[in-house]
Every structure is written in structure tokens, then in C-alpha cells.
């Protein structure tokens, strides 16, 4: 069975979408672990309630601890609202096997400091007409890995950052499940920066 580990820092609504997709059979996967860098993350309680093993790691050795926790038989690591930067041996061992969901259309409105509501505030302030979310592979840069898939939403003249966040989050929940499904079904091929969906 395709085994995933999910990394979270907050509410875990993306994690919830993954759990629902596993329970409904849309995802033929098992969630081997939920790992957070925030001991109070709502997603940890959500996971514990489902009997999923959870871990809390923080500090400089977080990536090394994640590598140990996910073990040998994890196929994919899913960053679902995870705020720490992954580095070191974890990135080597899991090259093109870690995905992240970012709440904007990379390469716009991404990179250092661009997370959560900051992203949507920057989008609204800039006045663009479209935003959305991006699922991408994780590499040593921040939000720089090859793009797996994107979903778009309209940005309305009257939108506040909160309005836009709600609209984008709905698409994130669809995008993260779609990306995990494609990868678990071996329907993704990466060539340099480009990702082919087979």
C-alpha cells in the first residue's frame, strides 16, 4: 500500500481532505504518520483521533528527525501547511518524493515570508485578477521545486485577504488530493523542471 507521511503546522484542513479521500477510497494510500513543528497544531489532534501515529519535532534537527520518523517504507511526504524549511539528508533521500502546497500561483507570491494570510494580502494589494494554489516538489529552495499542478481562482475587486484565503483553500483541498492520487498511481514523470502527468 502506498504510504504517505503528512507534515503540518496548523489547523490541518488539507490533512483532513487527505484523510477523507483515504476513507472514501479515492486515495489508495495509508497515512503512516502526521508530523508537526507545532505541538498545538489542530491537525495533531485530528490525526490522533483517527489512530494515526503523530510526532512533534522542532529546532535545527527537525529534518533529520523527520527522516527517522518516516522510516524506510514511506513513499511520499506531503507538506500540508508545514512552515519549517526542510533540508539535508531528508531532501536527498526523498528527492522528488516530497510535495508542498502553496496558496498562490508559483512563481508569484511565494518564497521567504510568503505563507498563510501574508500571501493573500500581497495578492489583493497587487491587484491581480487570478490567484490559486500550486502543488510542487520540495527542494532546497523555498517554493522552488518543479510544479506538479495548479488550480486558479478569480480575485474580486471587493476581496479581502480573508475572502481570498477561503476561496483558495477550497481549491487546495482538491489539489492536494489530486496530486497525491497522481503520484500514488505513478502517473507523474519529472524531467528537469517539467512535470508530465501521464
Q: Is 14 in the site for ligand GRF (CB under 6 A)?
A: yes
Kindly write out the interface string for residues 38-77 of this chain, putting x where it contacts ligand GRF by CB under 6 A and - elsewhere: -----x----------------------------------
CA-wise closest residue to 31 among 185, 190, 148, 184: 184
> For residue 167, how many other CB atoms are within 10 A of its CB?
17
- Which segment (13-21, 22-30, 68-76, 185-193) binds ligand GRF by CB under 6 A? 13-21
Q: Pick one of 5, 6, 7, 13: the residue that binds ligand GRF (CB under 6 A).
A: 13
Q: Is 124 in the site for ligand GRF (CB under 6 A)?
A: no
Helix axes 161-184, 117-126, angle to 10 degrees: 120
Q: Give 58 or 61: the residue with its C-beta nearer to ligand GRF.
A: 58
| CA 148 – CA 187 distance, rounded (Å) | 11
Q: In this chain, which residue has its C-beta nearest to ligand GRF?
A: 81
| CA 90 – CA 64 distance, rounded (Å) | 6
Catalytic residues, which ones? Answer: 102
Amino acid at each position: 500500500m502506498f504510504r504517505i507521511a503528512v507534515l503540518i503546522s496548523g489547523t490541518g484542513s488539507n490533512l483532513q481532505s487527505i484523510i477523507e479521500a483515504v476513507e472514501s477510497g479515492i486515495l489508495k494510500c495509508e497515512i503512516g504518520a502526521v508530523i508537526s513543528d507545532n505541538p498545538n497544531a489542530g491537525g495533531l489532534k485530528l490525526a490522533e483521533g483517527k489512530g494515526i501515529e503523530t510526532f512533534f519535532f522542532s529546532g535545527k534537527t527537525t529534518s533529520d528527525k523527520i527522516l527517522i520518523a518516516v522510516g524506510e517504507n514511506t513513499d511520499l511526504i506531503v507538506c500540508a501547511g508545514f512552515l519549517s524549511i526542510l533540508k539535508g539528508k531528508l531532501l536527498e533521500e526523498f528527492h522528488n518524493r516530497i510535495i508542498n502546497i502553496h496558496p498562490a500561483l508559483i512563481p508569484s507570491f511565494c518564497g521567504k515570508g510568503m505563507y498563510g494570510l501574508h500571501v493573500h494580502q500581497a495578492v489583493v494589494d497587487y491587484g491581480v485578477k487570478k490567484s490559486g494554489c500550486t502543488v510542487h516538489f520540495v527542494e532546497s529552495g523555498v517554493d522552488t521545486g518543479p510544479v506538479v499542478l495548479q488550480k486558479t481562482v478569480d480575485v474580486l475587486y471587493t476581496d479581502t485577504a480573508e475572502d481570498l484565503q477561503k476561496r483558495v483553500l477550497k481549491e487546495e483541498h482538491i489539489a492536494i488530493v489530486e496530486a497525491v492520487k497522481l503520484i500514488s498511481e505513478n502517473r507523474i514523470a519529472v524531467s528537469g523542471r517539467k512535470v508530465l502527468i501521464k
